[in-house]
Amino acid sequence: MSNRPAADNAIDRREAIRRVSAILGGTALVGGSALWTACGTADERAREQAAQQGIGTFTPEDIALLDEIAETILPETETPGAKAAKVGPFIALMVTDTYDEKDQAVFRAGMVTLDEASQRAHQKAFMQSTPDERLALLEALDREAKEYMDRRDAAVKRRGVSTTGSADTADAFLPDQRQENAATSATSGAVAVTADSPSHYFRMMKELTLLGYFTSEIGYTKAMRYVEAPGRFDPCVPYTPGEVTWAPHA
């Protein structure tokens, strides 16, 4: 257990958030700067308590579902997966502590939508689906989320370059065009996307899965190499292509 000041740990949590954001294309994570503080309270004990008792509006059953979603995104391989790192409880904690009411509503509705999509695709709930069925569903949702977020980013850019408000006005009068350009996967119908649309719910799930895993003890010590500080300074550490990266201090 490190005795480093809390400020140092906050910097490292900020770095973890920055890295997850970079993995996802550089977009700011839902929850923003509140994640820096909240990550520090989502320790092993808090995750275990949330898993057993629930947290906020999340029941233990909800958290079990989030665990399985996270495990499908980051499954166990030669290293433990997201479920072993208790990422499901972490997600529930972060949504409860850092999301505003609007984003919480989007996330909770997304859990229902995901399960409905599983019923349509495989005639069974996500929890009753096989690992291959779960993976196929989440891959489709990931494509849908990317298309959605790309369209939202494009709308934000259009609004940003407009000096007269014409881009926003155009958005207000082009619902049919937005419908034609929207994703039409089996998981959901076309959705009109504007600059003010919230993040896609699966994007939220993916963000928090990565963040929860790579700020967990398992993520730091198993998925990445970790050396407790203080230690000696090695400016040129040998690296072989294919090796896992070194983790910063937890």
Domain ranges of the chain: 6-223
pLDDT recorded at residue 6:
39
The three state secondary structure string of 174-188 is: CHHHHHHHCCCCCCC
pLDDT recorded at residue 45:
84
Alpha-carbon distance values, 31 to 59, 85, 91, 128, 224 (Å): 21, 21, 12, 31, 25
Alpha-carbon distance values, 151 to 105, 142, 143, 188, 235 (Å): 21, 14, 12, 16, 43
Angle at 30 between CA 138 and CA 130, to 5 degrees: 15
Q: How far apart are CA 180 and CA 246, in angstroms?
A: 45
Q: How far apart are CA 98 and CA 30, in angstroms?
A: 8
Q: Are 123 and 131 in contact (CB under 8 A)?
A: no
pLDDT recorded at residue 28:
63
Q: Comparing C-alpha atoms, which of 30, 50, 54, 28 is closest to residue 41? A: 50
Burial of 175 (0-12, 13-18, 19+ CB in 10 A): exposed
pTM summary value? 0.69
pLDDT recorded at residue 159:
82
Tokens of 19: 């890295």
pLDDT recorded at residue 192:
80
Q: Are 65 and 127 in contact (CB under 8 A)?
A: yes
99-111 as b/e, with b when 16 or more CB fall inside 10 Å?
beeebbebbbebb
pLDDT recorded at residue 11:
35
Interhelix angle for 87-98 vs 60-73, to 10°? 110
pLDDT per 10-residue tile (average), the chain, 250 residues: 39 53 59 65 82 93 96 90 92 92 96 97 97 96 93 87 45 39 45 85 92 78 50 55 60
